[in-house]
A = this chain, B = another copy of it.
């Protein structure tokens, strides 16, 4: 178990987690695969198959304990172990993430941001210190953040990404709108491609 879980299953795990959090907040402490499936527009079989990729979390005749299942998924997704992240690029998108996005809920703490605009150096933005992008290499080597968030222009994406990976960053959250080709192909990359999302919506309209 755990190893070689298919990508489609992995991608459903955060959604399960979100729904379990909602149930937890409503003080619901038990749910069956069929009730959860209904809620999430899946099938009960799918729900049980998915969870059984990671182990048996349920109990026959009863269903799943919400608190336990939520904790088990948190463990699987590593939401428990505090991970450190840095922002590369401190423009509007970076600010949007700093101000609105709940990193803590994802088990991530934002430790620094980097930009090329000198007027931002050594300022704090939403409690996060901003430094010169020219110092990022040194910073990463010294502080070993796990995740780099790329919110900088496409043109700088490849160069910066490869520097970061060379210094030991373990994963890249990519908002640059381009597909990165890293020197080290083993580093996971998660792309958030706004334009692809909008184009799919555009396709679906009038169909």
Q: Chain A residues in contact with chain B, CB under 8 A? A: 3, 10-11, 13-15, 17-18, 76-79, 83, 91-93, 95-97, 99-103, 105-108, 146-147, 170-173, 179, 188-190, 192-207
A196-B11, A197-B190 as given contacts; A202 in contact with B96, CB under 8 Å: no
Task: For the complex, give the distance between the alpha carbons of A199 and B92 in Å.
Answer: 22
Q: Contact between A192 and B194 (Cβ–Cβ < 8 Å)?
A: yes
**Which chain B residues lie closer than 8 Å to A190 at the CB level?**
197-198, 200-201, 204
Min CB distance A145 to B, Å, is: 12
A11-B196, A106-B198, A200-B190 as given contacts; A95 in contact with B97, CB under 8 Å: no
9 A-B pairs with least C-beta separation: A188-B204, A92-B96, A14-B196, A190-B201, A14-B199, A93-B96, A96-B96, A171-B205, A170-B205
Q: Across the two chains, which residue of chain B brings its CB closest to A4?
A: B207
**Residue from B95, B204, B205 in contact with A92 in the complex, judged by beta carbons closer than 8 Å:** B95
Q: Contact between B170 and A76 (Cβ–Cβ < 8 Å)?
A: no
Q: Contact between B96 and A3 (Cβ–Cβ < 8 Å)?
A: no
Task: For the complex, give the distance between the alpha carbons of A194 and B200 in Å.
Answer: 17
Min CB distance A153 to B, Å, is: 9
Task: For the complex, give the distance between the alpha carbons of A92 and B99 in Å.
Answer: 7
Min CB distance A195 to B, Å, is: 5
